[in-house]
Structure 1
Amino acid sequence: MADPSVETIASGRCLVARVSGEMDYVTDPVLRPQFKELLSRGERFIVLDLSDVSFCDSAGLNVLLGAWRQADTSGAVLVLACVPEPLRRILQMAGVDQLLRVYDTVTEAEAIFGG
């Protein structure tokens, strides 16, 4: 199993972060600091591209919620894009889709920021 990663791409007015691998209790200690570092850059608009996330459990959800809270506290806007269907269902069941905005594509997410 490859370690999860967060790869960033500056794109117009947004910072796009492509998250890869599994998001669970095992990868939590790897991902949490990566998200913290990502959010400490001071970007105003952040799009998390989750197309390469192969698995996500409640610990992974907590990482996403923690990142969203950190962004919100710092005045940044964090949204999700390219969410795989199983993860989309988890977001809906947990009610997280009421907090985190979900877009079908990165382009669609960027468009809301005038990207």
Structure 2
Amino acid sequence: MDGVPSVETTGAGLGVVAHLHGEMDYVSAPLFRERLGQVIARCDRFIVVELTGVSFCDSAGLNVLLGARRVAEASGVELVLACVSLPLSRILEMTGADQVLRVFDTVSDAEAALSG
């Protein structure tokens, strides 16, 4: 299932944890965009996008994350990232996206910061 794109969700108090799996590229971007939109629509306060299962992310995948953050913000929901791989962390830094997207080392860290 490594390369098959999917989004699984679990509840987290006032928020949701969205576990992304697979490659985030131009082929899978529409699926990730749609699924994250569905998660945002049913969330009250925050979404932690957990990225342990993401094996690859290109500019299309980055665009999905930035777009999801904009949609969430417009809905009054905070969207943050957790468990970002070193290659993706470098992409976030090089593009300046790390100035827009809050990143946490773990889901627990994100939940603690957002629940308080």
Q: TM-score range by the shorter chain?
A: over 0.9
Corresponding residue number in structure 2 for 1:100? 101
Distance in 1 (alpha carbons) for counterparts of 2:100 and 2:73: 11
- Structure 1 counterpart of 2:10, which letter? I
Distance in 2 (alpha carbons) for counterparts of 1:109 and 1:27: 26
Q: Deviations over 1:69-106 (max 9, x none)?
A: 00011111000000011001001100000000000000
- Structure 2 counterpart of 1:99, which letter? V
Distance in 2 (alpha carbons) for counterparts of 1:42 and 1:74: 9
* TM-score with structure 2 setting the length: 0.94
CA contact (8 A) 2:16 2:43 kept: no
- How many residues are matched? 115
Q: Deviations over 1:39-64 (max 9, x none)?
A: 11132111000011000000000000
CA contact (8 A) 2:3 2:22 kept: yes
Distance in 2 (alpha carbons) for counterparts of 1:32 and 1:49: 15
Q: What pairs with 1:32-47 in structure 2 (closer than 5 Å)? A: 32-47=33-48
Distance in 2 (alpha carbons) for counterparts of 1:11 and 1:36: 18
| C-alpha RMSD of matched pairs (Å) | 1.2
Structure 1 unaligned blocks of 5 or more: none
* TM-score with structure 1 setting the length: 0.95
Structure 2 residue 13 is matched with structure 1 residue 12: yes
The sequence identity of aligned pairs, in percent, is 57
Q: Give the deviation of 1:14 after TM superposition.
A: 2.1
Distance in 2 (alpha carbons) for counterparts of 1:2 and 1:97: 25
- Structure 1 counterpart of 2:16, which letter? L
